[in-house]
Each structure stands twice: as structure tokens, then as C-alpha cells.
């Protein structure tokens, strides 16, 4: 059984060298990877086959050192990836040590061709690579041990970091140096699923102890003698510039060392955070702001609305929707608005930079270390090799720490260069909420024609929202005016195959508000629209929402399996307590199908989500506990956006500041969450993001069952449920 994407075992880089007196197994780099011009890496991957830092290392003390090409930001890969190696290596789980990789071509994503963590792709993309590393190391260790013991390799077995032959055994550490001298085997078979100890079962999280005892290093924890702290005063309107500033009062604050103009604003550099904060508060800045930048949210919605009356770029088309709509017995014409959303990670952005001579060191939590290295080198006028990036734990990413311009990193580099001192540049919560790189705001207009049988015969779907890819290294991915990140989940919806005449159009207006991928990207808005519309069509047809979806999803087994399991576990159709109602949604994203049933009640306009039952078909669940945790976290993330997420602008200024007006879901508001994993032999999919999209439509569909009112504008507004 193969549950992996196509990564040939033959591509595994079967070379060895000595690591700290032990054995080192470099990982393979897929040939023909496109470098995108971000790195000084040769186009031929074989030329970098002996990259010294891409390794599985075994030390003499039997410690297993694993370097991850992806970053740990709470999603659990610090544990999941070592599970793959451990199953093939037969090592002692308690002897594993894990670290983040530095930037470098050997760590490029096996599918994306760059070094990045995102797209819910880590587990499936590394499933072969990490198992192959473990299997190759084990084969070499067995051969070395057999030679020392005077037996044949086939007479040996392995377990808990030892090679065992009869009543004799040697630790991996004892034979590591000898193994490093052996020629690598040409082809090492991987274990069948029946022999897995960890994969599909789980293991104790390797990052838990240090996160509990305070030893884990996040960006905010970086500290060393002589390190200063900076806060930057940035324009209150995106696209604004510094005209002048007066630092007279700022310089009277004890601890303030420097006040410097940098490309992004004015930096106040001090001995510690509080002095920098007080100094910035005392700073007087005159800003140069073009009146054209004074965006107003209400006007923006009006502009977006007007665009839906004109032709957009075609994302999907079948038949002739223009001719079909007038022939419909009934027409639905509705509009949805979904606002800008901030990522709001619990650890605000921060970056420490130390420049010494011709070397720059950076300490930060980043999802994209390679581009940060390249961008830092570019503004310094150096080669990327002169910039060393130390990736630490991320206190949340959600896409915010994966910006193509490396905004918060290059700002920190600019501050340190201007200062001449090592500086940690810190963003306050207000800086983060108002700092941009939001999930784009989107407006959808959906026109559906129903036949006399109440079935949809025509579907015209117009989407308006900024492109995420425009202006990034991925801009080449925009084809014929279509940024797939804006339309994914609509243009490829399984429901569209049942609509003989359909048209999906996209308008991508531009402005100065920086936008970025936000956990589950385009699916954050498209799933909401599609699943609430399907629910509306089910009710228009007088059918049960689950049965209606079953009819439409017969040719989509993953959707169907998740839908059926969620409905079964939620007790769909069984009685509920008085005043409680259910809603359902199912959506595929990042290769996984997720269905969720929400149980809600409404009291005088106040919504209470009591329970969310979730089912996911992600193919093989390498770490089931990790998958469940990601579903739980995605549901909470999605509920937060549904209930509270809203970035608004007035005269170009973001109106929200902190968690009092950009709220997070609190513990007492969090529903009971049940997660069920579909036993599946389908292709592996992701888990980090697919739990987010279905929860909002599931809740809103339940609210319709409770109130008879359709919610089309987010976040939920109490006035929309008044009287319920």
C-alpha cells in the first residue's frame, strides 16, 4: 500500500560521513527543483548532494540527532517527522534530539522547491524522505555491527538503538563510526505498515518537556549581553512615509539609546522593551500620507459590489450561464461579505539581528528562512552565505511568518545596521493587529437558477478580492488573471459538476493594504459561501441537508466518507435538547476532506456553540493525536474568525488595536470538540489547515435551522439574529 506523493526512493542521497564521531545520513534533494532565483544554489541538485547540514546523525552516546527542514509552530512536526525516522531506524525514542535546519537547498520542500513550512504539506511531503533516511542508517549500522560480531547481517535484528545477534548486542553509537565508512546500500526496502511502531499510532511529543519547563526558545526569548531592544513607529496608513520627526522627549526617557529613521518608519532603540515603548510613545512624527490612501471599508465594499456587475477573469466555465439564468423557474441572487482578518499569533512578531563585520546573524521564528536570508542579504548588499538564520520555535504562524518581502525581518536588519549594535526589534500587539498582511477581504455575488424541480440548473459566481500572489515570487502562478488562492474551493468544487451551466469569475482589485495567506488561504471564504449556499439549496428542494449532499457527492468518496462519519457521530437526525439545532458542512482543502456538525443555540441574539463533531479523511494519519489536535485548533481558529474577526478601515487607518476589539475565542466559549479520523487508504493530505473552513458554515447553517435567517456577512452581528 502506498499512501505517499510520488517521491522516488532512488532519489535518496545515499552518502555518509562522520558526524561528531558518529554516523551522518544526508537527505536527498529532488533533482530538477526550480530555485526561483532566491538562492545562490546550482540548478543541478546533484552538485549540492553532500550538503553538510542536512542529516540524520548518530553520536557515540547513542543520541539520535534529527534536523527538520520544516519549522515547528505548534503543529507537532517536531514529533511527527522523527516518528517516521524512528520507525525505520528502530531507535530509542528517548534518545532523540531535534533541531531546525538553517537555510539551504538540501532542505527545499520536496514538492514546492523552496524551503518553506506551509500549505499543510509537511507530513506527506516528507513521508518517504524521512523514512528512507532511517532505513538507510539502520542498514549501515546492521552491516557494521555484523562485521564486528562476526555474523551475517541477516542474523541480526534491531531495537531501541541496538543491533542484536543472539545474546550479543551493540549500540548504534558503538558502531556509528564503522558504519560511516561503509559503502551505502543501493536500495533499502521500507518496513510494511504491519511493522510500524509509531506511524499511525503516535508518540510522546518531543517538544513538550522544554515548553513546560521554560527551556524552549522562542524569538522573544533570545537574549545575550549587549542586545538592545527596538520598537518602530510606522505610518498609521499603509503606504505612508515619514516626513519629519521630533525625538526631543523620547531622548529624555531613561534607557533610550538611539532614535533613527529606517525605511519602515522611526526606530526607538533602548536598553529594554519598556524604555523603547515609552520612548516611542513620546515620539512626535509628521507623516506624509497621500489622500488616495485613505481607504474606507464601507466605500471599499461599494466598489467591490460594483465590480460584480462587469465581466471578470474566468476561473471556471461550462455551458452558457447567461442564456440559462433567464430560463430558470426561480432565481437566487445573494451577496456575501467576508472582511480582512489578522493572523494575531500569540507571540507577536520579533526578530533579533547582530551584524559583525561582513557577517549578519538573525534569530527569529520564521516559516520561510531561505527567503528571509536572501532578502536580508539583498538589503545589505551581501551574498546570502554571509547571513546566518537561526530559526527558533514559533509562537504561532498561520502564514504571517511566511511573507515574500520578509517585512519584519528586513526591518530588523535595517534597524541593526543603522544602530551599529545588536538589536531585537519587537512588535507590540497593536503593531501586529494594525500591521497588515491580512487575509484579503472578499465579496461574493452568487446567482443561481433553479428549475421547476428545485434543482440548480445555472450558477453564476463572482468573487472580488485582492490577489495574495501578486507582487510575490509566486506571481507567475497567476494565469489569465486568476490567482487560484482567491477561487480555490469554488472553481474546483465537486458541486459544480452537477450544474450544467456555470461560470466563476474573479476580480482582483489592488490597493496598498498588504495581504497574505491566512490559515487555509482561499478556502477560508469559499467554503463558507459554497456550504451555506448548498444548505440553502437543500432547504429550497425540501431535502435534508445531509441527504442532499450525499446525492451530490457520490463520485467523491473522501467527501462522502467524512460526511457520513461526522453525521453518524453527531447523531444527525436524533432529538436534541430544547432550543438546540444542528448544521453541517463538508469541504476539501489541502488534500483532505473534512466534515463538521455544529450544535448551537441562540438566546436573545447571543450565539452559543455547544458542540462540534469533526471527521477528517486525510489518508494515512501518521500521528493521529497530532491530526486531532490540528482539527481542534482549526475549529477554534475558525470560530474566532466567525464570531469576532474583523479588520476595518476609516480614512486608511485600521480601527482595531488589541484583543479587546479584535477578540479571540475564550475558554468558556469553546465548544466540546470531537474528532474522528476516517480509516483511509487514500492519498495523504494535510491537517494543519483543513479543520478551519467547515466550521463557520456549519455554525451558520445551524443558526438558520434555529432562526430561519441566512447569515451572509461576517463576522456574526447580533442585530442579524435579533429576536431569536
Whether 98 maps to a domain, the answer reads yes
Whether residue 495 is found in the same domain as residue 636? yes
Whether residue 28 is found in the same domain as residue 160? yes
Kindly report, residue by residue over 171-221, the tens digit of the pLDDT. Answer: 999 998 898 888 888 889 999 999 999 999 989 999 999 999 999 999 999
Whether residue 468 is found in the same domain as residue 516? yes
How confident is the model at residue 573, as a pLDDT? Answer: 97
CA distance 573 to 561: 18
In our burial notation (b when 16+ CB lie closer than 10 A, e otherwise), range 472-487 reads: bebeeebeeebbbbbb
Whether residue 381 is found in the same domain as residue 249? yes
SS (H, E, C) 5-58: CCCCHHHCCCCCEEECCEEEECCCCCCCCCCCCCCCCCCCHHHHCCCCCCCEEE
At 635 the three-state DSSP class reads helix
How confident is the model at residue 473, as a pLDDT? Answer: 77
At 444 the three-state DSSP class reads strand
Whether residue 280 is found in the same domain as residue 168? no
At 417 the three-state DSSP class reads helix
Whether 119 maps to a domain, the answer reads yes
Whether residue 279 is found in the same domain as residue 322? no
Whether residue 145 is found in the same domain as residue 69? yes
pTM above 0.85, yes or no: yes
How confident is the model at residue 173, as a pLDDT? Answer: 92
What does the angle CA 114 – CA 117 – CA 119 come to, to the nearest 5 degrees?
100
> Checking phi first, is residue 45 left (phi over 0); if not, alpha (psi -120 to 50) or beta?
alpha
Provide the domain limits for residue 205. Answer: 9-213
Is the peptide bond between 476 and the residue preceding it cis, with omega within 30 degrees of 0?
Answer: no
What does the angle CA 522 – CA 686 – CA 193 come to, to the nearest 5 degrees?
165
Whether 431 maps to a domain, the answer reads no
At 281 the three-state DSSP class reads helix
Write the DSSP string, 478-545.
Answer: -BTTB-HHHHTTTTT-GGGGG-SEEEEEEE----SS-B---TTTTHHHHHHHHHHHHHHHHHHTT--H
Whether residue 88 is found in the same domain as residue 182? yes
Whether 3 maps to a domain, the answer reads no
Residue 416 vs residues 262, 361, 385, 411, 642: alpha-carbon distances, Å: 10, 11, 18, 9, 39
Answer with the one of 394, 426, 458 that is the final residue of a domain: 426
Whether residue 603 is found in the same domain as residue 520? yes
CA distance 365 to 70: 12
Whether 2 maps to a domain, the answer reads no
User: Are 403 and 368 within 8 A, CB to CB?
Assistant: yes
What CATH number is attached to the domain comprising 373? Answer: 3.30.365.10
Answer with the one of 158, 191, 213 that is the final residue of a domain: 213
Whether 46 maps to a domain, the answer reads yes
- Helices (H) then strands (E): counts for the chain: 16, 28
Residue 671 vs residues 283, 607, 611, 612, 674: alpha-carbon distances, Å: 44, 12, 5, 7, 10
CA distance 514 to 246: 28
What does the angle CA 160 – CA 166 – CA 171 come to, to the nearest 5 degrees?
35
How confident is the model at residue 45, as a pLDDT? Answer: 30
- For 345, residues 6+ apart whose C-beta sits below 8 A from its C-beta are 394, 395, 396, 397, 398, 400, 401, 432
Whether 433 maps to a domain, the answer reads no
How confident is the model at residue 23, as a pLDDT? Answer: 66
Q: Which three cell numbers stand for residue 7?
A: 517521491
- Specify the DSSP class assigned to residue 131: H
Whether residue 375 is found in the same domain as residue 454? no
User: Are 394 and 366 within 8 A, CB to CB?
Assistant: yes
Rg (CA), the chain: 27
Residues of the chain with pLDDT under 50: 1-20, 27-53
Whether residue 282 is found in the same domain as residue 367? yes
How confident is the model at residue 383, as a pLDDT? Answer: 98
- For 349, residues 6+ apart whose C-beta sits below 8 A from its C-beta are 400, 401, 408, 426, 427, 431, 432, 435
User: Are 75 and 401 within 8 A, CB to CB?
Assistant: no
Q: Per the structure, how many domains does the chain have?
A: 3
Kindly report, residue by residue over 575-617, the tens digit of the pLDDT. Answer: 999 999 999 999 999 999 999 999 999 998 899 999 999 999 9
390's enclosing H/E stretch is strand 387-391
CA distance 684 to 687: 10
- For 453, residues 6+ apart whose C-beta sits below 8 A from its C-beta are 541
Residue 723 vs residues 602, 696, 704: alpha-carbon distances, Å: 10, 21, 13
Residue 330 vs residues 408, 449, 599: alpha-carbon distances, Å: 52, 6, 31
Whether 4 maps to a domain, the answer reads no
139's enclosing H/E stretch is helix 122-149
User: Are 78 and 208 within 8 A, CB to CB?
Assistant: no
Whether residue 181 is found in the same domain as residue 315? no
Answer with the one of 395, 426, 457 that is the final residue of a domain: 426
CA distance 443 to 219: 36
CA distance 613 to 188: 42
Q: Which three cell numbers stand for residue 51?
A: 550538503
User: Are 494 and 411 within 8 A, CB to CB?
Assistant: no
Amino acid at each position: 500500500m502506498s499512501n505517499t506523493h510520488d517521491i522516488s526512493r532512488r532519489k535518496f542521497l545515499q552518502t555518509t560521513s562522520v558526524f561528531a564521531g558518529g554516523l551522518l545520513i544526508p537527505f536527498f534533494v529532488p533533482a530538477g527543483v526550480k530555485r526561483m532565483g532566491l538562492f545562490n544554489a546550482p540548478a543541478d541538485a546533484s552538485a549540492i548532494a553532500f550538503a553538510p547540514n542536512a542529516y540524520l546523525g548518530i553520536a557515540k552516546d547513542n543520541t539520535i540527532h534529527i534536523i527538520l527542514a520544516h519549522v515547528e509552530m505548534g503543529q507537532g512536526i517536531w514529533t511527527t517527522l522523527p516518528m517516521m525516522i524512528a520507525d525505520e531506524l528502530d531507535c530509542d525514542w528517548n534518545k532523540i534530539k531535534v533541531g531546525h535546519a538553517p537555510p539551504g537547498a538540501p532542505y527545499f520542500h520536496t514538492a514546492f522547491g523552496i524551503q518553506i513550512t506551509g500549505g499543510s504539506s509537511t507530513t506527506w511531503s516528507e513521508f518517504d524522505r524521512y523514512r528512507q533516511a532511517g532505513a538507510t542508517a539502520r542498514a549501515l549500522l546492521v552491516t557494521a555491527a555484523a562485521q564486528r560480531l562476526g555474523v551475517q547481517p541477516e542474523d541480526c535484528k534491531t531495537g531501541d538503538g541496538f543491533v542484536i545477534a543472539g545474546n550479543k548486542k551493540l549500540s548504534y553509537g558503538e558502531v556509528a563510526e564503522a558504519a560511516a565508512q561503509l559503502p551505502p546500500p543501493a536500495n533499502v526496502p521500507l518496513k510494511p505498515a504491519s511493522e510500524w511502531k509509531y506511524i499511525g499510532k503516535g508518540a510522546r511529543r518531543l517538544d513538550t518537556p522544554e515548553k513546560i519547563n521554560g527551556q524552549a526558545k522562542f524569538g522573544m526569548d533570545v537574549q545575550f549581553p549587549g542586545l538592545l531592544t527596538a520598537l518602530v513607529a510606522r505610518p498609521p496608513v499603509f503606504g505612508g512615509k515619514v516626513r519629519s520627526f521630533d525625538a526631543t522627549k523620547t531622548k529624555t526617557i531613561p534607557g533610550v539609546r538611539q532614535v533613527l529613521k529606517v525605511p519602515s518608519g522611526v526606530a526607538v532603540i533602548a536598553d529594554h522593551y519598556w524604555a523603547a515603548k515609552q520612548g516611542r510613545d513620546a515620539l512626535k512624527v509628521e507623516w506624509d500620507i497621500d489622500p488616495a490612501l485613505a481607504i474606507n471599508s464601507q466605500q471599499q465594499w461599494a466598489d467591490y459590489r460594483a465590480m460584480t456587475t462587469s465581466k471578470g477573469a474566468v476561473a471556471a466555465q461550462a455551458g452558457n450561464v447567461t442564456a440559462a439564468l433567464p430560463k430558470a423557474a426561480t432565481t437566487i441572487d445573494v451577496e456575501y461579505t467576508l472582511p480582512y482578518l489578522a493572523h494575531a499569533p500569540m507571540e507577536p512578531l520579533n526578530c533579533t539581528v547582530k551584524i559583525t563585520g561582513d557577517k549578519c546573524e538573525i534569530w527569529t521564528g520564521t516559516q520561510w528562512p531561505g527567503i528571509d536570508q536572501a532578502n536580508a542579504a539583498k538589503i545589505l548588499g551581501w551574498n546570502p552565505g554571509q547571513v546566518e538564520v537561526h530559526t527558533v520555535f514559533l509562537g504561532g504562524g498561520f502564514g504571517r511568518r511566511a511573507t515574500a518581502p520578509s517585512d519584519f525581518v528586513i526591518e530588523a536588519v535595517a534597524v541593526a545596521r543603522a544602530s551599529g549594535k545588536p538589536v531585537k526589534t519587537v512588535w507590540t500587539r497593536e503593531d501586529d493587529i494594525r500591521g497588515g498582511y491580512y487575509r484579503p477581504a472578499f465579496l461574493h455575488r452568487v446567482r443561481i437558477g433553479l428549475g421547476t424541480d428545485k434543482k440548480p440548473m445555472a450558477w453564476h459566481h463572482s468573487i472580488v478580492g485582492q490577489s495574495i500572489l501578486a507582487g510575490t515570487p509566486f506571481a507567475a502562478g497567476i494565469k489569465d488573471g486568476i490567482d487560484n488562492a482567491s477561487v480555490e474551493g469554488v472553481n474546483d468544487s465537486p458541486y459544480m459538476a452537477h450544474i450544467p451551466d456555470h461560470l466563476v469569475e474573479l476580480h482582483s482589485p489592488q490597493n496598498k493594504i498588504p495581504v497574505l495567506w491566512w490559515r487555509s488561504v482561499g478556502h477560508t471564504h469559499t467554503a463558507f459561501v459554497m456550504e451555506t449556499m448548498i444548505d440553502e439549496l437543500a432547504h429550497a428542494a425540501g431535502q435534508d441537508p445531509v441527504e442532499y449532499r450525499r446525492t451530490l457527492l457520490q463520485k467523491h468518496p473522501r467527501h462522502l466518507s467524512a460526511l457520513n462519519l461526522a453525521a453518524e457521530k453527531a447523531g444527525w437526525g436524533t432529538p436534541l435538547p430544547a432550543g438546540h439545532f444542528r448544521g453541517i458542512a463538508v469541504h476539501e482543502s489541502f488534500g483532505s476532506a473534512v466534515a463538521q456538525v455544529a450544535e448551537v443555540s441562540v438566546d436573545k441574539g447571543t450565539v452559543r456553540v455547544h458542540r462540534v463533531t469533526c471527521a477528517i479523511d486525510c489518508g494515512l494519519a501518521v500521528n493521529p493525536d497530532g491530526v486531532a489536535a490540528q482539527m481542534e485548533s482549526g475549529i477554534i481558529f475558525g470560530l474566532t474568525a466567525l464570531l469576532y474577526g474583523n479588520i476595518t478601515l476609516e480614512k486608511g487607518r485600521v480601527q482595531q488595536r488589541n484583543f479587546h476589539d479584535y477578540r479571540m475565542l475564550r475558554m468558556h466559549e469553546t465548544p466540546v470538540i470531537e474528532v474522528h479520523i476516517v480509516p483511509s487508504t487514500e492519498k495523504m493530505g494535510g491537517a494543519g489547515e483543513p479543520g478551519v473552513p467547515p466550521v463557520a458554515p456549519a455554525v451558520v447553517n445551524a443558526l438558520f435551522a434555529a432562526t430561519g435567517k441566512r447569515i451572509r456577512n461576517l463576522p456574526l452581528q447580533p442585530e442579524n439574529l435579533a429576536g431569536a
